[in-house]
Structure 1
Amino acid sequence: MKASLNILIAYFMVVTACSAQRSQSVLELYSHTINYPSYKVVFHLEVVPEGHQATSDSKRYFWYGGNQINITQGGFGGKLLDGAYREFYLNKNLKAEGNFDGGLMVGEWKKWRENGSLDSISNYSSGELNGLFARFDGKGILLEEGRYRNGLKHRKWLGHLSTDKVQVTYYKKGIVIQEKQSKLKIWMIKLGDKIKLRRKK
């Protein structure tokens, strides 16, 4: 009985190993590094047999070939970027960070300036801007925030013109439908002062 059990376990181990090898032969991940004059890129690749990866004519694919990262709309001519992606300045500060899935940008992406201050936060879905977006100045102060839908600005966007003034712009599929300025911050400060005075009385 024990011998039969050992044989069965060994059989399943062989089957699992063969299955893993077949999967690895279809989709293999490799880590690569490219050193540019002003920054370094660390990324992963997906090796896809010809005819395996379907593409969309409207999407831009990031792929590796000729010791550089290339971008092609509707196709690719090398190994697709897949997985974690990072760029570093020469001072080792992060320049950019995000993820790829089959050559397309996905999830949250962040960009930084060389001094380490945050430049922008964006979100992607299947290679298109989708979801929250925020942009910051050199001191890390929020300048602009809003949402993208299918690569276009959508609904309410806020532009922080100064500490007391906000530009409110409404979009529909990338087209401005309403725009106005608001001194909401000043109003809130004044309201807060009035509440404090009333409490003192």
Structure 2
Amino acid sequence: MAAPIRFYFDFASPYAWFALNGIEGLARAHGRDIEWRPVLLWAVLKAQGIPAPLDTPARRTYLVADMVRSAVFHEAPFTLPERLGVSTHLAGRLFYALTEARPEITPQVARAFLRAHLADGQSLAEEAVVLELAAAFGMTEGSVRAALADPTTKQRLAAAVDEAVSVGMCGSPYFVVDDEGFFGADRLPQIAWRLAGGDRREPA
């Protein structure tokens, strides 16, 4: 069986949201599963020694305009977050808590969290938003609070960050296809080409 596509992303990443339909469609078309790996992008970039892209005024201005343009291009509903680049540690912990026991709901959880933050204008940095999202998947407020505080849940997110660093993640989204990394929603055509048997050449 063909290896799954590993999908590393931050729930606060607009480009992960824009790439979602495309990568799911490619996975279906080529008989691949997706391994979902939400991470904390700021932690990955810090470990890699990469400056946060939004810290530079010129790059921030460009990226904001590009997010709006990319949403139209990918036909994705999009609401520019009031605060860009918020830490999504609450959503990340909750994702791993929910999907550890119920792996079959993994795609639905990922889509619900991304949609809430990037289409519906709800900040995943707010505990009330995370509690509401969890309730839609059958978790009580008490079980959510317990999961968020559980050291095992925190470790799952930390392990995903470490894994992302080890495979060379340098931004969100980052895909690994047959041990080859692809960064960005704009790399979906190259992923499609590779999955269809496109010529792979190692760097000289």
TM-score range, shorter chain: under 0.3
Which has more radius of gyration?
A: 1
Q: Larger relative CO (CA 8 A, sep 6+): 1 or 2?
A: 2
Structure 1 or 2: larger strand share?
1
Query: TM-score, normalised on structure 2?
Result: 0.21
TM-score (norm 1): 0.22
